[in-house]
Amino acid sequence: MTISLLKERSGNSCELCKSTTDLSVHAVQPATHPANEIVVCDACLVQMGKGAETDSQYWRFLAEAMWSAVPAVQVVAWRILSRFKNESWAAENLDMLYLDEETVDWAKTMDEDDVPAAVAAVHQDSLGSELQNGDTVVLTKSLDVKGSSLNAKMGTVVKNIRLVINNTEQIEGKIEGQQIVILTKYLRKQKS
């Protein structure tokens, strides 16, 4: 499809976020698929790019874009929502998104170079440092432990943490002999 036809189809705006600035044509992989081009803005392109630190909050507009009649836009929406399927807003939209069988097959088929950088779940502390099983962390806020009279004070050191597998926002650790779940936004990794 020519650039002028693509811009006409898109209303001369990004087919994802509706921005009208810094537009370009993006080929949705695999490149062999027919009608695989969409119009995107630079901001969306950067967020989609391999190696970009993808911000899940940026993509909230996909709740609207996913209803596009353009299969290539649907494929991009499905792939991005799938990156964040552990977050409730994305999971809800993914559950509502209806794609025909051919489009689902396309969405699931990605070239090696098209695999999103954010696919691997990464646990990060409040400062953005990556957490690993066995790390030691320090609480950055005093926390009341639900179902217990325990109050974990700010500055408490939690050793030998375990990552919660399907939730990058939680870790498990022992405080005063009690195993608890702690939100990663309330801790920082202790440097060794």
Q: What is the mean pLDDT of the chain?
A: 85
Tell me the C-alpha distance between 20 and 130, whole Å: 36
CA atoms within 13 A on the CB side of 127: 10
What pLDDT, in 10s, does the model give residues 130-156? Answer: 899 999 999 999 988 888 888 889 999
Task: Assess whether pLDDT exceeds 70 at residue 30.
Answer: yes
Contact present, 157 and 174 (Cβ < 8 Å): no
What is the average pLDDT across 174-187? 91
What pLDDT, in 10s, does the model give residues 40-60? Answer: 999 998 888 743 467 888 999
Task: Assess whether pLDDT exceeds 70 at residue 73.
Answer: yes
Task: Specify the pLDDT at position 113.
Answer: 40
CATH class assigned to 137-189:
mainly beta
User: 33: pLDDT confidence band, cut at 50, 70 and 90?
Assistant: confident
Coil, helix or strand for 64? Answer: helix
Tell me the C-alpha distance between 31 and 40, whole Å: 16
- Residue 24: how many other CB atoms lie within 10 Å: 13
User: 35: pLDDT confidence band, cut at 50, 70 and 90?
Assistant: confident
User: 168: pLDDT confidence band, cut at 50, 70 and 90?
Assistant: confident
Query: Which parts of the chain are beta strand (E)?
Result: 23-27, 37-41, 137-139, 143-144, 151-152, 157-158, 162-163, 170-175, 178-183, 187-189
Tell me the C-alpha distance between 175 and 78, whole Å: 40
Task: Assess whether pLDDT exceeds 90 at residue 34.
Answer: no
What pLDDT, in 10s, does the model give residues 89-137? Answer: 999 999 999 999 988 889 888 644 444 433 456 888 988 888 999 999 9
Q: Provide the residue ranges of all domains of the chain, joining segments of one domain with +.
A: 3-119, 137-189
- Residue 57: how many other CB atoms lie within 10 Å: 8
Q: Identify which of 84, 78, 85, 115 has the alpha carbon closest to the alpha carbon of residue 100.
A: 78
Task: Specify the pLDDT at position 182.
Answer: 92
